[in-house]
Amino acid sequence: MAKDASFDIVSQVDTQEVDNAVNQAKKEISQRYDFKNSKVEISLEGDQIKILADDEYKLKAVIDVLQTKLINRKVSIKNLEYGKIEDATGGTVRQMIKIKQGIESEIAKQIVKDIKNLKLKVQAQIMNDQVRVSGKSRDDLQSVIQFLRGQDYNLELQFTNYR
């Protein structure tokens, strides 16, 4: 086996599924009795979700509904970064939730360091917002994947382009 095998470690969120989850959450909130006669808004603005509610209690309830819809659509809530709760106009509160796409450089460096500590005959290199792992033995690559699945980097990792 002269040719190296490789795979990419990425962290991507399907934005169409996020949009569908936000729309489902809007629909459920409009039908729920506990949100009747209250000002609650949820919207997707680029790579952020904006939530506006009467008070923090209702804001937390909206986030709970949104998380449930995201989980049902197989979108990891590990890739959500919650901003601080701010006061908005008319006595309402607002929170922005950023959707993380790609692997940040600090986390990518930690992943490469952890792979090197395995002492397997593989090479890991950072390429933009992903990590490429290559080696001669497919078994070693499978071992790396199994190891990384057991780690927690506070984001969902996917393994693509396995060849």
Taking the chain (163 residues) in runs of 10, the rounded mean pLDDT of each run is: 78 92 93 88 92 91 94 92 89 92 91 92 90 90 91 88 84
**pTM flag (> 0.95):** no
DSSP letter at 136 equals: S
Q: Which amino acid is present at 146?
A: Q
Q: Which domains does the chain have, with CATH numbers?
A: 5-12+103-160 (3.30.70.860), 15-99 (3.30.70.990)
Inter-CA distances, 78 with 40, 45, 139, 160, Å: 24, 19, 28, 19
